[in-house]
Amino acid sequence: MTSITDTNINVTRQLHDRGQSLWLDNITRELLQSGTLQRYISELSVTGLTSNPTIFDHAIRNSGYYDAAIAEKARAGKHGEALFFELALEDLCQAADLLLPVHVDSAGVDGFVSLEVSPLLADDSAGTIVAARHLHRQAQRTNLFIKIPGTAAGLVAIEESVFAGVPVNVTLLFSPEHYLAAAEAYMHAIERRLANGLDPAVACVASLFVSRWDVAIKDTVVPALRNRLGIAIGKRTYRFYRELLASPRWQKLASAGAIPQRLLWASTGTKDASVADTMYVEALVAPATINTIPEQTLLAFADHGKVSEVMPPDGGDAEQVLADFNRAGVDIRMLAARLQLEGAASFTKSWQQLMDCIVEKEG
């Protein structure tokens, strides 16, 4: 059972007070049944939760909390993906109910949980659209996002899903250009809803992966540049985000009742033991954003993290740092495309391992 001991509770509240939501990047049945998630919500200002195939694979493979439910569902004729999504929705609907007061108090802006469509659909627009609508209906929760990757096929599915009224968490974004493409898909969907007399208040977040940039180039740049690229990418993306929110196009949608597509920092656990375990959380404090962090990072930040500087709307030193990487031979656009492909492949591998695990536990 995870415990909260000797934590600096005020520091997580400081993030909230600066306009940033803190979400947990984890879900397990143990977190729910032990009351730990509820304590994170009440004591550490956690206002949302995200999941992915890797998280569920670890949760189901490394505990006995799901064994009885898997066996029971298998006896009832459920197998593979259908069985998994029932398990996942049981967990995520319970978490969504815990977060419902946050969702209501924030007028539908915060208090979300997220469930990802099968990664096998990353290049299948039509299949993703069908899956997103089905999972949304199956959940019957207003505060549950369906995660869709920001791939070329995913962008088509994102627009159609939002147009259909499905709240979407756009995942696997790595660059400012990826973010802008996701924002375009979202805004076009909202414009279409307004043109068709539909409610424009459909929630969406755009998840930018941060730490994987630094892992990718750690052995190819001089020490002075290590662990700086992900944050610089985040800062440039934040500048684009704030410019978009101030644009006449978005202001017109907002005046009609649209909800901003919030920028979300993902992959914010430190991968390098030589730097602070709270580095990304402390560097990415920015109003009107979300930071979804692993449980270990949440507890580390609550224990010894600091909230000092807030990211400036213009991105601060991002352009100078990115110019340094350009001079060092790092092709950011090519690397972003590679990271998105690798991220999709990683989730596909976790998905296949998850399906294998479920088959083994079906008995």
SS3 168: strand
pLDDT, tens digit, for every residue of 49-91? 999 999 999 999 999 999 999 999 999 999 999 999 999 999 9
Ramachandran angles phi, psi of 95, nearest 5°: -65, -40
Distance CA 111, CA 100 (A): 6
Question: Is 6 a residue whose pLDDT tops 70?
Answer: no
Beta-carbon count within 10 A of 82 CB: 10
pLDDT, tens digit, for every residue of 150-187? 999 999 999 999 999 999 999 999 999 999 999 999 99
pLDDT, tens digit, for every residue of 267-282? 999 999 999 999 999 9
pLDDT, tens digit, for every residue of 307-331? 988 999 999 999 999 999 999 999 9
Task: Check: CB of residue 151 under 8 Å from CB of residue 127.
Answer: no
Beta-carbon count within 10 A of 146 CB: 24
Nearest to 168 by CA among 195, 152, 153, 189: 189
Task: Check: CB of residue 284 under 8 Å from CB of residue 237.
Answer: no
Distance CA 197, CA 302 (A): 45
* Domains contained in the chain, CATH given: 9-362 (3.20.20.70)
Average pLDDT over the chain reads: 95
Quote the pLDDT of residue 7: 54
The catalytic position among 147, 235, 252, 306 is 147
147 is catalytic: yes
Question: Is 363 a residue whose pLDDT tops 80?
Answer: no
Residue 279 C-beta-side C-alpha neighbours within 13 Å: 20
